Structure 1
Amino acid sequence: MKLRDIAHSRTGDKGDISNISVIAFDEADYPLIEAHVTAERVKALFHEVVHGEVVRYAIPSIGALNFVMRQALGGGVTRSLALDAHGKCLASALLDLDIDLDVPAPGRSGRLD
């Protein structure tokens, strides 16, 4: 399944930092999202764009994860030569991430459904 099947996102940017929040549609899906959408996986997905660190902040009370990505906007939105490689485009790419229910999440065993 795609992440977009169980979550939506909000984005923001400031200078050369982009942040993407991933919010579960149903709070019951939050543990699945938390287990499979890691900072390492987000960094790997955006390895060509994000040249700094990716930090994940978990907000379980609202079923959300927030990813702060440094050196992600080519020097900043107003300085970048990239055509719209900013938050909304990055969020769309992140929501296209595959969540494989047959692959155990880190620290878990067996099927998660």
Structure 2
Amino acid sequence: MKLHALAHSRTGDKGNTCNISVIAYDAGDWPILLREVTPERVAAYFGPQVKGKVTRYLLPQLHAMNFVLEGALGGGVTRSLALDAHGKCLGAVLLDMEIDTAA
């Protein structure tokens, strides 16, 4: 199943760092997100596009998590010639990740 079936996302940027939030539509799916959407899986999913560390911050009261991807924006808004210098598309890319919903 694709992650977008269980969650939505928002993104932001600061310099060369992108943050991606993943927010469960339903609180009952929170345990699946915790298990399946780990910093290691996110780092592997984005591969060499993310040059630095991937950190996950949990907001269990909101059934949300925030990922900070260091070195993900090709130098940042003022340095990158990339079409998505702010990293807004990265949230949609992450939501396309396959997750296992079986317990």
Q: TM-score range by the shorter chain?
A: over 0.9
Are the aligned partners of 2:73 and 2:86 in contact in 1 as well (CA < 8 Å)? yes
CA distance, structure 2, for counterparts of residue 41 and residue 86 of structure 1: 22
**Partner in structure 2 of residue 100 of structure 1:** 100
Pick 1 or 2: higher relative contact order, CA cutoff 8 A, min separation 6. 2
Structure 1 residues 47 and 85, CA gap change in structure 2 (3 angstroms): farther
CA distance, structure 1, for counterparts of residue 7 and residue 13 of structure 2: 20
Greater helix share, 1 or 2?
2
Q: TM-score w.r.t. structure 1 length?
A: 0.86
SS at match of 1:46: helix
- What CA deviation, in whole Å up to 9, does each residue of 1:19-75 have, x standing for no partner? 000000001101100100000011111112110000001110000010001111111
Structure-to-structure mapping, 1:1-113, within 5 angstroms: 1-84=1-84, 86-101=86-101, 111-112=102-103
CA distance, structure 2, for counterparts of residue 37 and residue 85 of structure 1: 24
Measured after TM superposition, the shift of residue 100 of structure 1 is 1.9
Specify the structure having the higher radius of gyration (Cα). Answer: 1
CA distance, structure 2, for counterparts of residue 82 and residue 47 of structure 1: 17
Structure 1 residues 99 and 28, CA gap change in structure 2 (3 angstroms): same
Which runs of structure 1 show a deviation greater than 4 angstroms over 4 or more consecutive aligned residues?
none
CA distance, structure 1, for counterparts of residue 13 and residue 55 of structure 2: 14
CA distance, structure 1, for counterparts of residue 45 and residue 98 of structure 2: 11
Q: How many pairs were matched up?
A: 103
- Alpha-carbon RMSD across the aligned residues, in angstroms, is 1.1
Which runs of 5 or more structure 2 residues have no equivalent in the other structure?
Answer: none
